[in-house]
Amino acid sequence: MRFVTAVHTGIDMASSEEFEAAFRELLPRAYRVAFRVLGNRAEAEEAAAEALARAHASWARVGALPWRDAWVLRVTANVAVDMSRRRPRTMAARSSSTTDEGELVTLRLALSAALATLPRRQREVIALRYLADLTETEVAACLHVSLGSVKRHGYRGMASLRQLLDVPDEGAGLRWT
Amino acid sequence: MDMSPSDHPESFFAGDETAMLERVYARSAEIRGRRRSLAFGASGFLAGVAATVAVVFGLSSVSPGAAQTGLRIVQPARGPGITIPAGPHGRMLWRSASVGAVGTLPAYGENRLFVAAADRAVYALDAGTGSVVWSHTVCCSLPTSSGAATIDYALGRVLIAAPDAPLQALDARSGQPAWTTAGPEPALSDGGVAVAPPVVVSAGPSGIRAYRVATGDPIWSMGGVVARLAAPNATSVFVVVPGAGGGDQLWNLDLASGKVRWRHDLGATVHGRFSATRDSIYVVDDLGALHAIAAADGHQRWLAQIAPSSCGTKPACSDNPGGFRSQPNVTGNLVTVGDDAGFMRAFDTNDGTMRWQLDTGAPIRSSPLVSHDALFFANDDANLFAVNLATGEKEWSADMLAPVRSQPTVAYGVVYVTDTTGHVTAIVD
């Protein structure tokens, strides 16, 4: 028997089934990561869709990765940060508010802007560790780096964020653990 | 300040998962299209455009492979659930009870075969066993038209087009109606529907209409045009329209807008189905000539005259002087087409040179399908053939017990055909 694939999509059918199963699992997580960066439903959907599309386009490779989920979440975070970089500045002003939600939005925007200034590796570590809720071990596997490297980049990234966000050292909640 | 953001109510995805999946497929197609552009230079350009068209249409997918090969569109499947015992090629896996289908090909999707019967019932058969998963009689009390329904699968929808009936879509999993167009379609004939996700185009005597596959929402329409046949590639839909001089014209319509890009005089009538790829359209006219027409501007790239010499004096040719009812298949640099004289032939897509021919001894009305370098087709002697695409050598054949005039469908190493008695048969490749 020949191994027959769905030639029309360029993705073999078994992989397509796997992708759809993974998609249903990953979509909420990717969306959540993106929303945490962007704070906007439409943009979060766009970022999640972009990341999942990149995964689908390379599913033969990505689907076989042991850190597949982390790969998708990392791409999501990067896409979201890139989107936040391109976002018009007026959006931040429009989002300003005295309400709790407004403060949250302002904080998120500030965080996104700060994240965007970090070196790529630091940004990825921070995004995966905090926005995607991965463990340090998972982050290390995802980024192909050692656990020590994750800790180092995370520590440096957090230090940079504290400085950028004007948060005192070891400030409330802003800790690398 | 807590580094972990709070769980804002909107941080939980509450959108349409299916729409997001379609959006992902569309964007993925664009990404892969760009890769091809990088790999093949200018030749990849249209694929990217195609994907862009999909994005413009919104959250749906384009099947770039279909654009390249002109094959039927097979969307990602759910998985086979089939255990295939060891044994020779060409053995029968199962044969369904007759559903009364009239020559329509089985559409494959989500591990199911979808067939449309003459009584307007649509059946979903389990691809592993042939048992009926669901059946549904399509909408409306229809006049007893002689035309068979055309059926296809895309984006989780089973699309059914029948003469004098609305274009209808069923949910592939449940068989429940998903959408139906407002009124009867213009007497859709076989080949009058072109599915190019996210768009489905119907062509008939009262015009051409385009709808979204997922929702059935109309996209564009063109009235006052008598169109008979349709075939898509990724960016265009091509239709055959009668010309003023008695011959037919081939029109290229923009898939997104319906705008006419060009018209080409074929110089003869066309009743056989044709195939469109990214680069060319391959049409067999009623005088037995195979036309290769450039998709970009409509100029004729080459013409290969096949009939009437191929048809000769065989009785089967008498009612069809051109001798071609089989839709050409385009894969790689070969276009293959069968004829009523029983020949399957392969032509070089570059210049129309015939590369090989195989005499099967009985009319071939079944459109060929290529899967993994094998060409699958059947003839009126109830034989299903697997032929080496490159050389034309027969690999195996199998007795289908009844004439087969539909295109086979291949999935997971199993070839599915419907025959003229309404049985669906699964054959192991």
Residue B228 tokens, joined = 């008979």
Question: So what's the pLDDT on residue A12?
Answer: 52
Compare CB distances from A7 to B17, B21, B65 and report the shortest one's residue: B65
Min Cα separation A145/chain B (Å): 23
> In this complex, is the C-beta atom of A57 within 8 Å of any C-beta atom belonging to chain B?
yes
Lowest mean pLDDT among A82-96, A110-124, B62-76: B62-76
Min Cα separation B196/chain A (Å): 11
pLDDT tens per residue across span A23-70: 988 998 899 888 887 777 888 898 999 999 989 888 888 888 777 888
CB contact under 8 A, B413 and A20: no
Residue pair B277/B232 in contact by the 8 Å Cβ criterion: no
Confidence of residue B353 (pLDDT cuts 50, 70, 90): very high
Q: Residue B218 and residue B212: Cα distance in Å, rounded?
A: 6
ipTM (interface pTM)? 0.70
Terminal CA-to-CA distance of chain A, rounded, Å?
Answer: 53
Terminal CA-to-CA distance of chain B, rounded, Å?
Answer: 63
Mean pLDDT computed over B382-401: 89
**A165 exposed, middle or buried (CB, 10 Å; 0-12, 13-18, 19+)?**
middle
Q: Residue B408 and residue B426: Cα distance in Å, rounded?
A: 10
Closest to B180 measured CA to CA, from B140, B127, B152: B140
DSSP string for residues in B313-366: T-GGGTT-TT---SPPEEETTEEEEE-TTSEEEEEETTT--EEEEEE-SS---S
Min Cα separation A109/chain B (Å): 12
Mean pLDDT computed over B106-110: 80
> In this complex, is the C-beta atom of A173 within 8 Å of any C-beta atom belonging to chain B?
yes
Lowest mean pLDDT among A59-63, B82-86, B105-109: B82-86
CA B406 to chain centre: 11
Confidence of residue B104 (pLDDT cuts 50, 70, 90): low
Instruction: Give the sign of the dihedral formed by CA B137, CA B138, CA B140, CA B141.
Output: negative
CB contact under 8 A, B12 and A8: no
Among chain B residues, the shortest Cα distance to A21 is held by B78
Question: So what's the pLDDT on residue B259?
Answer: 93
Question: So what's the pLDDT on residue A98?
Answer: 44
Question: So what's the pLDDT on residue B345?
Answer: 92
A vs B: CB pairs below 8 A: 151
Chain B partners of A167 at a C-beta cutoff of 8 Å?
A: 1
At B126, which amino acid appears? Answer: D
**B408 or B48, which is more confident?**
B408
Residue pair B241/B264 in contact by the 8 Å Cβ criterion: no
The arrangement of strands across the sheet holding B236-242 comes to B229-232, B236-242, B248-254, B260-265
Compare CB distances from B74 to A6, A23, A104 and report the shortest one's residue: A6
Confidence of residue B307 (pLDDT cuts 50, 70, 90): low
